[in-house]
Amino acid sequence: MIDDKKEHKRRLDNARTLRYRRRHPERMKKFAKERWQRHGVKESVKASKHMAKYRKNNKEKIKQWEKVNEDRIKQWHKDAERKRKFMVMEKYGGTCIACGCSELAILTIDHINDDGAIDRRRVKATKQRFYSFLMRNPRRSDLQVLCHNCQWKKRIYGPNISEWPNKRREAEKAIEELKKQLATVPSKPGQSRLPSGFSVRFWNGRE
Ligand SMILES: [Zn+2]
């Protein structure tokens, strides 16, 4: 009977606490901030030590939990990745500087001088590690935001964005020329329609 009463009181208290927290989010934020200022670093060191110890002593349990919650863990990783990428892109302007698109899925960080490989090797980074590296460090002037399409354009048309429309017109002209050439060649079934003197050699030596 006594236990029942105790349990009842405990539940009431819990409900009251939860209700209070829900009703006063700004107060909770303030409390959390004060708590962090009072003993933030100390507490976090304590917590990480505790977690390390727990992980060491409960390897099997953790393995099983990870198996059961596989999807959830994957989702966490995805969310973290997205957050990291979003923060980095925001830091560097948030939109492709060539076409202005802002769809996070296709945005990339571009090395203006094409020295990305060297740079990544220097910080020993995979893509995700590189993002968190960029997130932690101040904004750099040798990086810019480009979308995947514009990365390809840069590779083909060159780094000078203002020249791209010209380059594109040139390419289109060349293609029109090619089409005209092809149109003069009568096509027979099973035969290449390339004009004479216009041969493409394949890797195995066939034409
Ligand atoms: Zn673009």
**Per-residue pLDDT for 67 more than 70?**
yes
pLDDT at 198: 60
- Report yes or no on 170 lying in a domain: no
Q: What is the dihedral of CA 199, 202, 206, 207, to 10 degrees?
A: -10
- Residue 88 within any structural domain of the chain: yes
Residue 203 lies in a domain: no
147 alpha carbon to ligand 1 midpoint, in Å? 4
* 106 close to 88: Cβ distance less than 8 angstroms: no
Report how far ligand 1's centroid is from the alpha carbon of 104 (Å): 11
pLDDT band at 33 (very low <50, low <70, confident <90, very high): confident
CA of 95 to the centre of ligand 1 (A): 8
- Evaluate if pTM is beyond 0.75: no
Distance between CA 43 and CA 173 in Å, rounded? 67
The answer to whether residue 165 sits within a structural domain is no
In a domain, 171, yes or no: no
Cα of 137 vs centre of ligand 1, distance in Å, is 25
Residue 48 lies in a domain: no
Q: Yes or no: say if 135 and 84 are a contact pair by the CB < 8 Å rule.
A: yes
Asked if residue 204 belongs to a domain, the reply is no
| DSSP conformational letter for 126 | -
Does residue 55 lie within any of the structural domains? no
Dmax (CA) for the chain in angstroms is 101
Total domains in the chain come to 1
Can you tell me the mean pLDDT for 169-175? 93
Work out the number of other CB atoms within 10 angstroms of the CB of residue 195. Answer: 13
The parent domain of residue 105 ranges over 71-148
Q: How far is the CA of 151 from the centre of ligand 1 (A)?
A: 7
pLDDT reading at 156 higher than 90:
yes
Inter-CA distances, 78 with 81, 85, 168, Å: 5, 11, 37
**110 with 154: CB under 8 angstroms?**
yes
Q: From the CA of 124, how far away is ligand 1's center (Å)?
A: 28
